[in-house]
């Protein structure tokens, strides 16, 4: 969403290169911004300091099948981990939609997740160890179960965290002091820290056997209330995914059923008969509320059912030249019982601010993505976008939600964290940052906001957008229009 021209770009190939970069940044007091594939949504991978692009080196990958572990360099993607693990009947279960290009370092940085989080949790659950370059250039391997020598929570701090952290199923908003309080593991501070406490150069992933059988259903509803009531029932059946496609998104896909909202449900089981049986339970349990039902009893059939989800993003990329997709409110997560109220509130705010939106997400976790689609040729569109951001922040606070379920805070949401957690918890966040990065050279302005924070500063579109060479701007726009996000950005400068 943002365009910030950096002072320089560095492309380290080895851990020693990263150490040199960190020491140089510390000596010169210049910001260092770690970056993987650049697919992060809220601006945590751009900045005015030195970009450290870790997407070129750090490609080592070893599968230890007996131990069910993958040891991956920071640039190894989710897809590459799974391709290497598949011959052993193993996988990394959380599946971010950007998995074809989301890197191991980036997935750890944001505590990434995806559709299957409802059963398998976010990436946090699957990280066994991290190789990290710290703010003073020290290289360490931090293993699960290892305590932090830099930061501890007092009893009062634990009570504060227990009281103030919202009870959502997913959360990538700030430092995970709730998990840290529960486990005492240093690794839980580093996961989701968005490169502000150290630079991840390798990840030890825990793997899981691939379930042999799969089945699912597409269930359409005439209204939000019926959809929201259906979700807890479906969650009780232990699905691996429940995806929500709202009518605001379905209208972009001609092949989609004409319903107010659609739930795509997936069940993974040990036997085909069991998978088919639970699909039958889902359909029978919702026969009075679903107005559209399709079922699939194998992988090929399920792939066909889910095609509507895959067609949505390319459809959005074909918007008129004057209309841009800007993910300014794209990652809110609420308690499951508040899902219907959240989607209704999103629709109402978008209508009031006269900004079209496309709404979808991971319904089983109460987690909703939104593409705001403003007409950037209209007077006042930037102010309307800021008002939409403010509306939805108020809505999330009222519903006891969090501003980010899986994409991280980045620069976009840093300025509202205190409203969700309170000043005392933000003070704890600042204590964590000082303990690990006393000079604040690692990704400053992310999680801990800059003093001049604004959610619509440095947008990539509009009159105020930073100037870049026309040929590169054209190529970036083509990447956006064709959804070719896997294109290495360095190639665009050739």
pLDDT digits (tens, 9 = 90+) for 267-287: 999 999 999 999 999 999 999
Q: Give the C-alpha separation, 162 to 177, whole Å.
A: 9
DSSP state of 467: P
Section 355-359 average pLDDT: 94
* 49 touches 460 (CB < 8 A): no
At 456-486, the pLDDT tens digits run 999 999 888 999 999 998 998 888 888 788 8
* 104 touches 76 (CB < 8 A): yes
- CATH number for the domain including 308? 3.30.70.2190
Is residue 355 in a domain? no
Q: Domain check: are 66 and 202 in the same one? A: yes
Q: Domain check: are 253 and 188 in the same one? A: no
Is residue 353 in a domain? no
Section 326-347 average pLDDT: 95
Section 126-137 average pLDDT: 98
Written as one string, the DSSP assignment of 103-161 is BHHHHHHHT---TTHHHH--GGGGEEEEEEE-TTS-EEEEETTPBPSS----HHHHHHH
Q: Domain check: are 189 and 87 in the same one? A: yes
The pLDDT of residue 253? 86
Is residue 392 in a domain? no
Q: Domain check: are 166 and 282 in the same one? A: no
Section 20-31 average pLDDT: 97
Q: Domain check: are 303 and 234 in the same one? A: yes
The pLDDT of residue 395? 98
pLDDT at 163 > cutoff 90 = yes
DSSP state of 333: B
Q: Give the C-alpha separation, 488 to 268, whole Å.
A: 34
Q: Domain check: are 7 and 87 in the same one? A: yes
pLDDT at 317 > cutoff 80 = no
477 vs 422, more confident: 422
Look at residues 316, 350, 381 and tell me which one is the last residue of a structural domain.
Answer: 316
The pLDDT of residue 154? 95
The pLDDT of residue 485? 81
Exposure string over 242-279, b if 16+ CB within 10 A, otherwise e: bbbbbbbbbebbeebbebbbbbbbbbbbeeeeebbebb
Residues 6+ apart with CB under 8 A from 444: 31, 47, 49, 196, 450
* Selection from 423, 419, 61 nearest residue 207 by Cα: 61
Q: Domain check: are 76 and 152 in the same one? A: yes
The pLDDT of residue 315? 74
Section 358-373 average pLDDT: 95
Query: pLDDT-derived band of residue 403, with 50, 70 and 90 as boundaries?
Result: very high
Look at residues 260, 287, 316 and tell me which one is the last residue of a structural domain.
Answer: 316
Is residue 377 in a domain? no
Is residue 389 in a domain? no
The pLDDT of residue 373? 94
Is residue 360 in a domain? no
* Selection from 19, 47, 21, 23 nearest residue 35 by Cα: 47
pLDDT at 413 > cutoff 90 = yes
Q: Domain check: are 221 and 200 in the same one? A: no
Is residue 339 in a domain? no
Q: Domain check: are 204 and 218 in the same one? A: no
* 135 touches 22 (CB < 8 A): yes
Mean of all residue pLDDT scores within the chain: 94
Section 18-39 average pLDDT: 96
Number of domains in the chain: 2
Q: Domain check: are 219 and 205 in the same one? A: no
Instruction: Give φ, ψ of 72 to 5 degrees.
Output: -125, 135
Helix (H, G, I), strand (E, B) or coil at 72: strand
Q: Domain check: are 154 and 22 in the same one? A: yes
Look at residues 316, 334, 353 and tell me which one is the last residue of a structural domain.
Answer: 316
Structural domain of 286: 214-316
Residues 6+ apart with CB under 8 A from 387: 353
- CATH number for the domain including 117? 3.30.465.10
Query: pLDDT-derived band of residue 488, with 50, 70 and 90 as boundaries?
Result: confident
Q: Domain check: are 69 and 156 in the same one? A: yes
Residues 6+ apart with CB under 8 A from 251: none
Is residue 13 in a domain? yes
At 293-307, the pLDDT tens digits run 999 998 899 999 888
At 40-52, the pLDDT tens digits run 999 999 999 999 9
């Amino acid at each position: 969403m943002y365009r910030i021209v950096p002072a320089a770009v560095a492309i380290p190939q080895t851990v020693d290169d990263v150490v040199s970069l960190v020491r140089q940044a510390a000596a010169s007091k210049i910001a260092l911004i770690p970056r993987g594939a650049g697919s992060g949504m809220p601006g945590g991978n751009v900045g005015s300091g030195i970009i450290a692009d870790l997407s070129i080196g750090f490609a080592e990958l070893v599968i230890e099948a007996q131990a069910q572990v993958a040891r991956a360099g920071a640039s190894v993607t989710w897809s590459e981990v799974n391709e290497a693990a598949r011959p052993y009947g193993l996988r990394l279960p959380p599946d971010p939609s950007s998995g074809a290009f989301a890197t191991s370092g980036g997935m750890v940085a944001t505590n990434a997740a995806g559709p299957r989080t409802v059963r398998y949790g976010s990436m946090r659950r699957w990280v066994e160890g991290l190789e990290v370059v710290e703010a003073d250039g020290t290289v360490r391997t931090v293993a699960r179960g290892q305590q932090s020598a830099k930061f501890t929570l007092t009893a009062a701090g634990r009570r504060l965290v227990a009281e103030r952290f919202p009870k959502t199923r997913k959360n990538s908003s700030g430092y995970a002091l709730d998990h840290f309080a529960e486990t005492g593991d240093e690794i839980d501070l580093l996961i989701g820290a968005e490169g502000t406490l150290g630079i991840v150069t390798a990840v030890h992933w825990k793997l899981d056997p691939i379930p042999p059988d799969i089945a699912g259903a597409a269930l359409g509803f005439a209204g939000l209330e019926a959809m929201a009531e259906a979700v807890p029932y479906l969650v009780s059946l232990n699905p691996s995914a429940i995806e929500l496609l709202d009518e605001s998104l379905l209208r972009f896909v001609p092949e989609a059923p004409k319903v107010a909202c659609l739930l795509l449900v997936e069940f993974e089981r040990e036997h085909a008969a069991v998978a088919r049986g639970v699909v039958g339970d889902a359909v029978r349990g919702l026969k009075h509320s679903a107005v559209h039902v399709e079922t699939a009893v194998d992988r090929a059939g399920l792939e066909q059912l889910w095609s509507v989800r895959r067609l949505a993003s390319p459809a959005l990329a074909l918007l008129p030249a004057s209309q841009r997709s800007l993910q300014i409110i794209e990652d809110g997560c609420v308690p499951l019982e508040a899902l219907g109220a959240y989607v209704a509130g999103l629709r109402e705010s978008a209508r009031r601010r006269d900004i079209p939106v496309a709404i979808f997400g991971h319904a089983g976790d109460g987690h909703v993505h939104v593409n705001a689609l403003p007409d950037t040729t209209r007077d006042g569109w930037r102010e309307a976008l800021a008002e939409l951001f403010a509306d939805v922040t108020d809505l999330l606070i009222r519903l006891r939600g969090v501003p980010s379920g899986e994409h991280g805070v980045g620069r976009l949401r840093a300025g509202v964290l205190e409203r969700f957690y309170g000043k005392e918890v933000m003070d704890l966040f600042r204590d964590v940052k000082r303990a690990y990065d006393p000079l604040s050279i690692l990704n400053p302005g992310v999680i801990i906001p800059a003093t001049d924070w604004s959610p619509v500063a440095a947008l990539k579109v509009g009159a105020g957008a930073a100037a870049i060479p026309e040929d590169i701007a054209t190529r970036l726009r083509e990447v956006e229009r064709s959804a070719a996000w896997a294109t290495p950005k360095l190639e665009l400068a050739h």
